């Protein structure tokens, strides 16, 4: 268990923010790194050609550590949809083949596949929400010889329903299908090793559980797809781009590894140093420890809420950092407004009241949330 890390954030004591799954706050150190970084653009003579490379290399190195990959497997991207579009563009699909997704999956991980399906006469196969909440079994039961790719999260974005990606990968291997992961709602708070799960592509937008600025993120590309086609043809991604005086000696070759997939202007001077500070902080805490802490806190929150009629997916089918509270009688229409009036912040996704804490929450936050829910639902 990690003690509350509130002191590392700029959150007033009266605010109980249980909404990391919407948009996490920046740690103070990351905000400071970002302020210094942005100000460099006021004095551009301090930026040298070398700066176009060194910070992104550090970003790649830390991103790789988060998932036990190599730095050269990481591309710098601005959003989950950007990385998923790269996956959908590069995975070949034949007519009649199936793309497996979850019911009510986040749209960034749907629209790109709808386009790919249309262009290739392939079929989107949606795994229906399982009554028993066992997403893993539900996915496994729909994998067949027709499956070309499964494009999945580690946990459902609405209620935290968990997928056993190692089991799913093994089943996909048997039919020669690919695995694409959108880990935006898990990476940083729940451990994942690409060595165990072996995705072909993995994306994470970093503004939630990676505590980073909006418009930062990364794409992991397995070695078998590192020769594919990028979305953009950016000059920095080509061989020899370090030599600014030779840029019009146009190059057919890319830089090695996943760099070819980097977004244009990937040397994002204002935001990358802030993301680096956040990734470093997460690695210092340890993702295992973050998950253990948030899982324990969420479990005791459920205990404290017993007798209210609120339920959640049982622990073994749910990501520990996520709690999708359900209420059979139906939540009052204005429950978010009522909570916000007390400066308590959660989200509503589908039928779930989504509670997504982080290490900045403290005992007082939990007591206030429990008290408010008891009052509103009595």
- Region from 114-122, 136-144, 179-187, 363-371 binding ligand PLP, contact rule CB under 6 A: 179-187
> Phi/psi at 350 (nearest 5 deg)?
60, -130
Residue 347, classed as helix, strand or coil, is strand
161 binds ligand PLP (CB under 6 A): no
268 binds ligand PLP (CB under 6 A): no
159 binds ligand PLP (CB under 6 A): no
Name the CA radius of gyration of the chain, rounded: 21
Q: Half-sphere exposure of 223 toward its Cβ, with a 13 Å CA cutoff?
A: 3
81 binds ligand PLP (CB under 6 A): yes
Considering only residues 88 through 127, tell me which ones interact with ligand PLP, judged by CB under 6 A: 106, 108
Tally of CB atoms within 10 A around 289: 14
- Among residues 147 and 212, whose Cβ is nearest to ligand PLP? 212
d(CA 212, CA 206): 5
- Region from 32-40, 75-83, 96-104, 259-267 binding ligand PLP, contact rule CB under 6 A: 75-83
322 binds ligand PLP (CB under 6 A): no
- Among residues 55 and 182, whose Cβ is nearest to ligand PLP? 182
Q: How far is the CB of 318 from ligand PLP (least distance, A)?
A: 15
Q: Which helix (H) or strand (E) holds 344?
A: strand 344-345
Among 4, 184, 234, 291, binds ligand PLP (CB under 6 A): 184
Among 72, 79, 147, 293, binds ligand PLP (CB under 6 A): 79
Q: How far is the CB of 306 from ligand PLP (least distance, A)?
A: 29
- Among residues 34 and 78, whose Cβ is nearest to ligand PLP? 78
Of residues 70, 91, 89, 113, the one with CA closest to residue 232: 89
Q: Which helix (H) or strand (E) holds 204?
A: strand 201-205
Of residues 106, 97, 160, 105, the one with CA closest to residue 301: 160
185 binds ligand PLP (CB under 6 A): yes
186 binds ligand PLP (CB under 6 A): no
Angle formed by the axes of helices 272-285 and 28-39, to 10°?
160
Residue with tokens 């017993």: 306
216 binds ligand PLP (CB under 6 A): no
Tally of CB atoms within 10 A around 133: 18
Q: Interface residues with ligand PLP (CB under 6 A)?
A: 79-81, 106, 108, 153, 157, 182, 184-185, 205
């Amino acid at each position: 268990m990690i003690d509350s890390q509130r002191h590392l954030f700029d959150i007033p004591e009266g605010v109980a923010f249980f909404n990391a799954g919407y948009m996490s706050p920046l740690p103070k150190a990351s905000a400071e790194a970002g302020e210094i970084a942005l100000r460099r653009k006021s004095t551009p003579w301090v930026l040298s050609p070398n700066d176009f490379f060194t910070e992104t290399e550090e970003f790649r190195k830390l991103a790789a550590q988060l998932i036990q990959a190599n730095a050269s497997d990481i591309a710098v991207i601005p959003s989950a949809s950007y990385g998923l579009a790269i996956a959908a563009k590069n995975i070949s699909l034949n007519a009649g083949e199936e793309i497996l997704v979850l019911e009510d999956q986040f749209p960034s991980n749907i629209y790109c596949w709808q386009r790919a399906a249309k262009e290739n006469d392939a079929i989107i196969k949606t795994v229906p929400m399982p009554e028993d909440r066992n997403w893993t079994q539900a996915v496994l039961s729909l994998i067949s010889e027709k499956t070309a790719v499964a494009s999945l999260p580690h946990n459902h974005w609405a209620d935290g329903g968990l997928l056993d990606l190692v089991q799913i990968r093994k089943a996909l291997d048997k039919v020669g299908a690919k695995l694409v992961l959108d880990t935006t709602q898990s990476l940083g708070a729940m451990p994942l090793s690409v060595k165990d799960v072996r995705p072909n592509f993995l994306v994470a937008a970093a503004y939630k559980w990676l505590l980073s600025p909006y418009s930062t993120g990364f794409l992991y590309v397995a070695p078998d797809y590192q020769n594919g086609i990028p979305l953009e043809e950016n000059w920095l991604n080509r061989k020899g781009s370090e030599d600014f005086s030779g840029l019009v000696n146009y190059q057919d070759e890319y830089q090695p590894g996943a760099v070819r997939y980097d977004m244009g202007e990937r040397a994002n001077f204002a935001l990358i140093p802030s993301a680096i500070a956040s990734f470093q902080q997460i690695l210092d805490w340890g993702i295992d420890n973050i998950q253990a802490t948030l899982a324990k806190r969420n479990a005791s929150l459920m205990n404290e809420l017993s007798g209210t009629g609120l339920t959640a997916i049982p622990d073994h089918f749910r990501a520990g950092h996520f709690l999708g509270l359900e209420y059979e009688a139906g939540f009052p229409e204005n429950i978010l407004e009522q909570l916000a009036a007390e400066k308590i912040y959660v989200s509503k996704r589908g039928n779930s009241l989504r509670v997504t804490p982080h290490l900045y929450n403290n005992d007082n936050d939990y007591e206030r949330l429990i008290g408010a829910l008891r009052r509103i639902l009595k």
